[in-house]
């Protein structure tokens, strides 16, 4: 692999080179009506009487990764499933079924992008800001979302995609963000992360990447101390984003100029 020269450092200043996006809850509101529904259908089709309500699923989101989430739930509510000789194969098969069902839901158009996502990605791409993904989600689930929402452009939109089991320790461990930084040959201060959850914020900040939060129904009440700015969403012209905490939002939407302002602030803060 040819590694790029690291050109992010200009004298003492570090300019914004890349934006790294989380997927579930950030690019799309995919948890409650996507992943949760897929888990429940997979359970029913597998003869399990498990049903994850909207509230239960909110608690289970503290465990990142679908396989890990099922294992955690089984350990608490039906440990006998984990004590059988072929339990890992059973778990893998159940999660594969869930991922197939999720891809069908996404392909049927059930999961939309969040406000401002397509607009901001387009602007960043046109300006030459490098784009990457750092997610816990299974690659096939991610690809079905990208394909459904971006069509032919999906393949070329993100330069680096860090997803699923590419690292052993999922968020809140920083590993997935560190993996993406290595692939891009960039220092963390030259990037911004966009996340929606506490495990995501912890992962990105532990990797040294300044992080902007767009909350959703599951994370709206969380304390995102340490985030650069906490917002309702990225905003659209005529449908402004609301700033909930952290650095101010200058206009009504998050755009490249705003990201540059926030990233400069983060670099100055880090140096003091």
Q: Which residues are catalytic?
A: 22, 24
Of residues 8, 14, 130, 141, which one binds ligand XBP by CB under 6 A? 141
Query: Using CB under 5 A, which residues numbered 10 to 39 contact Mg ion?
Result: 22, 24-25
Beta strand pairing status for 130-134 and 18-21?
Answer: parallel
Instruction: Report if residue 263 touches ligand XBP, rule: CB under 6 A.
Output: no
Residue 35 binding: pick among ligand XBP, Mg ion, none (C-beta 5-8 Å cut-off by kind): ligand XBP
Phi, psi of 53 (to 5 degrees): -70, 170
Residue 162 binding: pick among Mg ion, ligand XBP, none (C-beta 5-8 Å cut-off by kind): none
In sequence order, what are the residues at sequence separation of 6 or more whose Cβ sits closer than 8 angstroms to the Cβ of residue 192?
Answer: 16, 18, 19, 20, 209, 210, 211, 212, 228, 259, 262, 263, 266
Per-residue contact string for residues 60-99; x = within reach of Mg ion by CB under 5 A:
----------------------------------------
Residue nearest to ligand XBP (CB): 66
Residue 155 half-sphere exposure, CB side, CA atoms within 13 Å? 1
The 3-class secondary structure across 199-258, one letter per residue, is HHHHHHHHCCCCEEEECCCCCCCCCCCCCCEEECCCCECCECCCEEEECCCCCCCCCHHH
- The nearest distance, CB 181 to ligand XBP, in angstroms, is 16
Query: Using CB under 6 A, which residues numbered 93 to 132 contact ligand XBP?
Result: 99
Q: Rounded distance, CA 51 to CA 60, Å?
A: 12
- The nearest distance, CB 257 to ligand XBP, in angstroms, is 27
- The nearest distance, CB 202 to Mg ion, in angstroms, is 12
Of residues 17, 141, 148, 197, which one binds Mg ion by CB under 5 A? 197
CB 146 within 8 A of CB 157: yes
The alpha helices in 10-65, defined as continuous H runs, are 36-45, 54-60
Per-residue contact string for residues 17-36; x = within reach of ligand XBP by CB under 6 A:
-----xxxx-----x---x-
Q: Rounded distance, CA 219 to CA 19, Å?
A: 21
- The nearest distance, CB 200 to ligand XBP, in angstroms, is 6
- The nearest distance, CB 145 to ligand XBP, in angstroms, is 10
Of residues 17, 40, 138, 263, which one binds ligand XBP by CB under 6 A? 138
Closer CB to Mg ion, 14 or 19, in the complex: 19
Q: Rounded distance, CA 131 to CA 156, Å?
A: 10
- Interface residues with ligand XBP (CB under 6 A) are 22-25, 31, 35, 64-66, 99, 135-138, 141, 171, 197, 200
């Amino acid at each position: 692999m040819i590694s790029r020269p690291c050109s992010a450092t200009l004298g003492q200043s570090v300019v914004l080179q890349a934006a790294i996006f989380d997927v579930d809850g950030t690019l799309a509101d995919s948890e409650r009506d996507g992943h949760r529904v897929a888990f429940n259908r997979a359970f029913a089709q597998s003869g399990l009487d498990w049903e994850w309500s909207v509230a239960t699923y909110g608690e289970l989101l503290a465990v990142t990764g679908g396989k890990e989430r099922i294992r955690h739930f089984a350990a608490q509510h039906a440990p006998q499933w984990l004590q059988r000789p072929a339990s890992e194969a059973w778990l893998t098969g159940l999660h594969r079924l869930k991922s197939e069902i999720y891809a069908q839901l996404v392909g049927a158009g059930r999961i939309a992008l969040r406000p401002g996502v397509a607009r901001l990605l387009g602007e960043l791409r046109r300006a030459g800001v490098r784009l990457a993904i750092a997610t816990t989600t299974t690659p096939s689930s991610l690809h079905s979302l990208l394909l459904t929402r971006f069509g032919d452009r999906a393949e070329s939109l993100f330069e680096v995609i860090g997803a699923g089991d590419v690292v052993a320790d999922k968020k809140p461990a920083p590993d997935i963000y560190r993996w993406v930084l290595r692939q891009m040959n960039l220092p963390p201060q030259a990037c911004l992360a966009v996340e929606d959850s506490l495990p995501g914020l912890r992962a990105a900040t532990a990797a040294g990447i300044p992080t902007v939060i767009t909350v959703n129904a599951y994370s709206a009440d969380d304390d995102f101390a340490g985030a650069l700015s906490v917002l309702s969403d990225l905003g659209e012209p005529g449908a402004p984003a609301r700033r909930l905490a952290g650095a101010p939002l200058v206009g009504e939407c998050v755009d490249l100029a705003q990201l540059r302002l926030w990233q400069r602030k983060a670099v100055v803060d880090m140096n003091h």
